[in-house]
Amino acid sequence: MTHFIKVFILFVLISTNVAYAQTWEVGVTGGAMGYMGDLNQNGILKLNHPAFGFVVKRNFDSNWALRVSALQGKISDDESKSKYQQEIDRNLSFYSPITEGNVLVEFNFFDYGFEYHQKRFTPFLFAGVALTGFNPKTDYKGSTYELKYYKTEGQPEEYKTITYSIPFGAGVKYNFGRYLNLVGEIGYRNTSTDYLDDVSGVYPAITSMQENDPNKTALRFDLSDRSVNKIGVPGTQRGDFRKKDSYLFVGITLSYTFVSQKCPF
């Protein structure tokens, strides 16, 4: 991995020096977010809520670019609306804001740009790293609860609500009006947490849920098992068997390219 990083940095430096025109690009993006995890195990393209953000990009040449962007959105799921009876019976639900900052490398398949000999359209791939903030909540019996504070699976400590993720995806770009770009993309984020939805392991044992306040103990049990018939037998699976949750963003970006001329050696 260290060798790869050194080669990549060398490649970027060489590309920067030999490029005829290095370009900065800024833009705004909008689209929708979806979630895959314990409450949505099958809908890999299920989009629930809008998301918005901005993009700053450094185009080293017509094929390679480094992008920094931020996104603000929301994810959710409600098993009472599921088409699967076992999920309806479990009856869990959540929603969470998502705040993401990322650094991505883009690769264009074609010689993309605004010069007469370049392509105005190209498919592209991207991958990188991101830091994501989340905070799962639920509405229950007329009140809203931030679920991490209730440790609904009997955890000894609250889980962290900041996670790193690995974004990757693909899209298409179209250059128009010379310096304007229209970009469509789809990207998945594999996170390092299984608690985007507050669901991960098994239903808790009674001893792990006890509080000094009997009312809070009862509330923790209610938030842990929201099924009508109280199917949450301690030690039985509450979530699925996948270790991590993920989410996706599908969006369109409108950007403007700033050009700085540079002569090659």
Query: How does residue 22 score in pLDDT terms, banded at 50, 70 and 90?
Result: low
**Using an 8 Å Cβ cutoff, are 26 and 57 in contact?**
yes
Contacts of 256 (CB under 8 A, 6+ apart): 25, 26, 27, 179, 180, 181
Q: Looking at the 3D structure of the chain, how many domains does it have?
A: 1
Across residues 16-41, what is the average pLDDT? 82
CATH of residue 102 = 2.40.160.20
Provide DSSP, 175-206. EETTTEEEEEEEEEEEES-S-TTS--SBPPPG
Domain that holds residue 126: 2-261
Q: The whole model's pTM is what?
A: 0.86
pLDDT tens, 162-194? 999 999 999 999 999 889 999 999 999 999 999
pLDDT at 14 (0 to 100): 45
**Using an 8 Å Cβ cutoff, are 234 and 205 in contact?**
yes
Q: How far apart are CA 243 and CA 40, in angstroms?
A: 14
pLDDT tens, 65-100? 999 999 999 999 999 999 889 999 999 999 999 999
